[in-house]
């Protein structure tokens, strides 16, 4: 029997078979969780649907996380289908490509609003709808962050600020929901070759730097992150909430 046997979860953020969200979804499924999936738009549906169906998912739902009515519809459907919810994965981030170039100083007002809305506020919006379905269950909410939330990473710019807001939100949400037994945590993963990473200029240089600098002398794998996500979703981490867990081969501890 898997560590997540009988638990019900919903996945936000699968982009393709190489995305972190997909690696976590597979790991949760292998440990016994039944999952629902969401997608944003027809292009992503073509990628997400066959992946979700390969895990036997019965609920594959459209959701633009900037539209409250779509979020409401997703949780109404999942709540009725599952009769409650144990797991939620938030693996969503976005910033305009032009705001990831040059200096942070040049970030536009609209670019700042968009990055914070999609990358940080969306966790609040999803958690607010999930919480009533999670009360009285061994519930766990997980989001994805990055070291750029607390250190300056060249060309990460407004996304770093959005991730800082995301990590602060994890702490405040953990405090709000702790009395209800709902845990909220983040994984701060090292750089991994994903669709989202392709938008960061100089990403290959980042991979090389981490590989040569991190204590483990290697980059982070999707499997590394997925195994930590199983831990944070399971009873093994029953006393852990409000944490940012680093899965980056130890890179974040290094100075020079």
Supply the residues annotated as catalytic: 146, 156
The whole-angstrom separation of Cα 185 and Cα 198 is 26
* DSSP code at position 68: H
The whole-angstrom separation of Cα 39 and Cα 19 is 13
CA angle, 72 as apex, 149 and 18 as ends, to 5°? 45
The whole-angstrom separation of Cα 12 and Cα 65 is 9
Read off φ and ψ for residue 129, nearest 5 degrees.
Answer: -80, -30
> Tokens for 6?
């009988």
Read off φ and ψ for residue 187, nearest 5 degrees.
Answer: -110, 125
Question: Collapsing DSSP states into helix, strand and coil, what is residue 144?
Answer: strand
């Amino acid at each position: 029997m898997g560590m997540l046997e009988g638990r019900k979860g919903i996945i936000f953020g699968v982009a393709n078979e190489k995305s972190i969200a997909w690696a976590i979804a597979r790991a949760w499924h292998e440990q016994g969780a039944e999952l629902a999936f969401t997608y944003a738009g027809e292009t992503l549906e073509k990628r997400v649907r066959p992946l979700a169906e390969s895990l036997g998912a019965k609920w594959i739902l459209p959701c633009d996380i900037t539209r409250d009515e779509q979020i409401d519809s997703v949780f109404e459907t999942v709540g009725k289908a599952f009769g409650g919810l144990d797991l939620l994965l938030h693996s969503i981030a976005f910033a305009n490509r032009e705001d990831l170039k040059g200096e942070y100083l040049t970030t536009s007002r609209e670019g700042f609003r968009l990055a914070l809305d999609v990358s940080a506020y969306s966790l609040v919006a999803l958690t607010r709808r999930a919480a009533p379905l999670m009360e009285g269950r061994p519930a766990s909410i997980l989001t994805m962050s990055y070291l750029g939330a607390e250190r300056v990473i060249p060309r990460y710019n407004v996304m770093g600020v959005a991730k800082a807001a995301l990590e602060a939100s994890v702490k405040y949400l953990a405090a709000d929901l702790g009395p209800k037994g709902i845990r909220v945590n983040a994984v701060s993963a090292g750089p991994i070759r994903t669709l989202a990473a392709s938008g960061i200029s100089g990403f290959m240089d980042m991979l090389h730097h981490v590989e040569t600098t991190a204590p483990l002398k290697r980059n982070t794998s999707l499997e590394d992150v997925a195994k930590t996500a199983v831990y944070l979703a399971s009873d093994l981490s029953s006393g852990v909430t409000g944490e940012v867990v680093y899965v980056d081969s130890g890179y974040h501890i290094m100075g020079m």
